[in-house]
Amino acid sequence: MLKTKKKIDKYLQNYAYICLNLIHTFFMMKILILDDDLTLSLMLKTWLSKKGYEIQTAINVAAAKKELEPFDPALVISDLRLPDDNGLSFLKWAKQHHPDVVFIMMTSYADIPTAVDAIRSGAYDYIAKPVNPEELLKKIQTAVSSPRKETKKPLYLPNDDLSTYVKGQSPKYKKVYDHVDLVAPTLLSVFIEGESGVGKEHIARMIHDKSKRADGPFIPVDCGVMNKELSASDFFGHIKGSFTGAISNKKGHFEEADKGTLFLDEIGNLSPDVQMQLLRTLQERRIKPVGANREIEVDVRLVVATNEDLEELVKAGKFRRDLYHRINEFHIYIPTLKECKEDIPFFARRFLDDANREMDKNVASFDEETLQLFLSYHWPGNIRELRNVVFRMVLIAHTDILTKDLLPDRICLEQKSS
């Protein structure tokens, strides 16, 4: 009897061990690490594997995109700087195609403001390099255990609240806002032109929020990071089984933006084939998902933007003339920061307030010499660059006043050379 009991106990122990291994195999959390630093990737893979996670690595964005579908990770740990693209672009793409994947961004000390932008774009958290594995593990455990609010709208580009947009006070900026108020209530397609970093998406969102479609979706899409081979599927959707990798039905951008506004940033990057399909959709207000036998009616207001000269692209035969005139029913030009230098102190003060709030600091102001350097610098990155500079200064400041020694070298060097 005693031998029989021991056999049963041993059997139950073995059975429990097998069950636990099966559970571990089928429910092990998967993590994708995206970094071109092979030493760091290997170290993190070894460390996290010992903690019970299934790890896959990728050295660039192209490889990560290929891994995301078959590997199906619950969490992605991505560097911000990558050889073929950047982690922020990959985050936007992944949030579009796999909105449930949790992101933790890795960043260098100088890129903290960009990491904050990543959080605005849908990342859960960031961690500074050099990475402390124990700290990373805590962030992973917190990220996967924290409840996340469901959203009916997919995440594409940063979805900043309109109240966070800083309005310039100069006559050129006021002209932009006057044009927004004028065109927003109409159904005209709007073409927003301006250099990188001037705030084109904010103006597009402002047009949407002031329109009769404000209760509908606002779907921003960065055409500059779209996969050309999958762009038709991205825009118009696809049917399950229509091509390799189409494992389920998918709505495209136009269907997601139905009864709302579709914002296409960097539209000059679209291929000729997609330009032709886009023109047909705008004319007929119908789309046909890849692999479908029927068309779907869509009601979408289009707002586009670019930092390129589309007229020159038209002359060069790289952009369709008929599509150019179709999307350019109303034109808005956003000035560069150097065109409105009188607004720089106002912008800087607002970004200082934002940085204090987000970093829980209490920096009071800038000294006069720093403001003069702000005014003399040419700001190639425009408002976005100014914001990043101010956030970096606040992050590394140890006093209540921000001084020129906290500025990036390029700003001070430009002053010396002028």
Q: Residue 12: what pLDDT?
A: 52
Total residue count of the chain as it appears in this document: 418
**Residue 214: DSSP 8-state:** T
Q: What is the bridge-based pairing of β-strands 286-287 and 296-297? A: antiparallel
Superfamily of domain 26-145: Response regulator (3.40.50.2300)
Q: Residue 161: what pLDDT?
A: 37
| Cβ atoms of residues 339 and 197 within 8 Å | no
Please give the Cα distance from 396 to 408 (Å, whole number): 12
Q: Which of 66, 78, 184, 70 is CA-nearest to residue 136?
A: 78
Q: How would you list the strands of the sheet with 75-79, edge to edge?
A: 54-58, 30-34, 75-79, 102-107, 125-128
Domain boundaries, given as residue ranges, for the chain: 26-145, 162-333, 337-417
Type and span of the H or E element at 7? helix 2-27
Q: Residue 259: what pLDDT?
A: 92
Q: Residue 378: what pLDDT?
A: 93
Same fold, 26-145 and 162-333: yes
Q: What is the bridge-based pairing of β-strands 102-107 and 75-79? A: parallel
Please give the Cα distance from 376 to 338 (Å, whole number): 9
Six-digit token pair at 154? 């997919």
For domain 337-417, the CATH architecture is: Orthogonal Bundle (1.10)
Q: Residue 19: what pLDDT?
A: 47
Rounded average pLDDT per 10-residue block, the chain, 418 residues? 53 49 53 90 88 90 88 91 85 85 79 66 81 84 61 33 61 93 95 92 93 91 76 77 66 88 92 90 86 84 92 93 94 94 90 89 91 93 92 92 92 70
HSE on the CB side for 362, CA within 13 Å? 0
**What number does CATH give the domain 162-333?**
3.40.50.300
- CB atoms < 10 A from the CB of 411, how many? 18
| Cβ atoms of residues 241 and 225 within 8 Å | no
Q: Residue 417: what pLDDT?
A: 62
Type and span of the H or E element at 67? helix 61-71
